[in-house]
Amino acid sequence: MSSNGRRPCGAVIAGALTTVLALSPAAAAQGPDTAPRTAAAATTSLVFDKNPDDPTNSRLSVYKGTKLWASYRAGSGLGIKDDCVRGKGWLPNGNWRIKLRTRTYNGNLIKGYAVYLQDMKCSKGTLTRTEMFIHSEMNGDGSRGGTERRRWDGAGDYKSNGCVKLNPTDIAKMFRLLDRKGFGWPTHLRVVS
């Protein structure tokens, strides 16, 4: 259990976050639609579109302005569509502020490439979803792990305790794309269904 008693995606983490790249306060305060809609200044957006037929076969997409640049298979939850079920339900809809991102997260369960999201109330307002991430299964340095918890084995690994989960190759591609000069990281993840 973390020092505040919260569980990420229903799992325990401990986090030396010294290697995490935090967003600047000015960038974090801006909403996703604050930049002018010109080609040169188009806003970068992350959109997680939940698939009601199969929450583990949803899409995480990267947009620059209105242009789709990349789309990746991603899962959220254990197949439960109730976003008020801690540790099992999919991520609630809304605009989740990106608190930080890193390629070398070293929590107890989440390791490697990770994007840490703000806390948010579920759709019924009965529960606050905390310690939610966009992540994969890998070692802390982003390499392939040897144990089941660290090794990506296939479609079953898209299940999560609520976080957005990508395969290791796709999360690395997403980081490379968003780190490109002139592209930039968004300040929010928009979740829709």
Phi-psi region of 66 (alpha: psi -120 to 50; beta: other; left: phi over 0): alpha
Q: Which residue has the higher pLDDT, 180 or 7?
A: 180
Return d(Cα 84, Cα 156) in angstroms, integer. Answer: 22
Check whether 12 has a pLDDT greater than 80. Answer: no
Read off the pLDDT of residues 24-61 as tens digits, 9 standing for 90 and up. 333 443 444 433 444 456 899 999 999 999 999 999 99
Q: CA nearest 8: which of 102, 87, 103, 84?
A: 87
Q: Share the mean pLDDT of the chain.
A: 82
What's the average model confidence in pLDDT over 123-134?
A: 95
What backbone phi and psi angles, to 5 degrees, belong to 119? -75, 145
* Strands 164-165, 132-135: pairing kind: parallel
What's the average model confidence in pLDDT over 6-24?
A: 42
- CA torsion sign for 38, 164, 112, 30 is positive
Look at residue 150 in the predicted model and tell me its pLDDT. Answer: 83
Highest CATH level, class, for 8-23+44-192: mainly beta
What is this structure's pTM?
0.79
Percentage above 90 pLDDT, the chain = 62
Residue 154 confidence class, pLDDT cut points 50, 70, 90: confident
Where are the chain's structural domains?
8-23+44-192
